[in-house]
């Protein structure tokens, strides 16, 4: 029996083997997590979890300030308490908060009251941690409180 000789196609581009090696490395070799982290970072920058964070009420009670406000939750993520409160120098402040029901749906939601212990005359920045669908924590700098002439608990301006 006469069999024809196998036909070998010439390599059109000598670098095609490199493409195959790189694809194998990314898909099979474990580099996909590095690539997926880059995609998640891009998504977090382009589509943040929280936007439109605002203080709607600030009441000074002695050295403390009690804040309430609203924020727009843009993605289905769950808050991981506590909210972190720090001044511009990075000094942490104790934040006493009431947590509402755990709801992951996107919508405008109220927050507070949050009592910032000894934070009445400080600019305080707030950071929240959310866990979204991938299970990866998202650290979100949501906004800050800048002290102004906030009403005291007695109603007098400070």
Predicted TM-score (pTM) of the model is 0.66
- Shared domain check, 40 and 92: no
Q: Which domain holds residue 37?
A: 14-46
54 and 84 part of one domain:
yes
Residue 24 and residue 88 in one domain: no
User: Within this chain, do residues 70 and 138 fall inside the same structural domain, yes or no?
Assistant: yes
**pLDDT (tens digit per residue) in 39-95:** 667 777 778 888 899 999 999 999 999 999 999 988 888 888 888 999 989 999 999
Q: What is the pLDDT of residue 1?
A: 64
Do 68 and 106 have their domain in common? yes
Residue 40 and residue 83 in one domain: no
Residue 97 domain flag: yes
106 and 35, same domain (yes or no): no
Confidence of residue 27 (pLDDT cuts 50, 70, 90): low
On whether the CB atoms of residues 68 and 110 are closer than 8 A, the answer is yes
Q: What's the pLDDT tens digit per position in 120-136?
A: 889 999 999 988 876 77
Residue 62 burial by CB count (10 A; 0-12/13-18/19+): exposed, middle or buried?
exposed
| Structural domains in the chain (count) | 2
Q: Is residue 9 part of a domain?
A: no
Co-location of 130 and 58 in the same domain = yes
Question: Does residue 20 sit in the same domain as residue 89?
Answer: no
Q: 89: domain CATH number?
A: 2.60.40
Answer whether residue 151 is part of any domain.
no
What is the per-residue pLDDT across 8-23, written as a single tens digit (0 to 9) for each? 655 556 666 666 666 6
């Amino acid at each position: 029996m006469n069999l024809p000789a196998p036909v070998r196609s010439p390599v059109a581009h000598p670098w095609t083997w490199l493409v195959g090696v790189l694809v194998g490395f990314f898909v099979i070799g474990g580099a996909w997590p590095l690539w997926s982290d880059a995609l998640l970072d891009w998504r977090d920058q382009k589509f943040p979890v929280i936007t439109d964070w605002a203080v709607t009420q600030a009441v000074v009670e002695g050295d403390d300030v009690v804040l309430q406000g609203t924020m727009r939750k843009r993605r289905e993520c769950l808050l991981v308490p506590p909210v972190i409160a720090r001044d511009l120098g990075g000094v942490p402040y104790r934040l006493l908060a009431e947590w509402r029901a755990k709801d992951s749906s996107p919508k405008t939601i109220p927050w507070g009251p949050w009592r910032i212990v000894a934070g009445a005359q400080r600019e305080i920045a707030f950071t929240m941690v959310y866990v979204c669908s991938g299970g990866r924590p998202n650290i979100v700098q949501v906004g800050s409180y800048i002290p102004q002439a906030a009403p005291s608990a007695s109603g007098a301006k400070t």
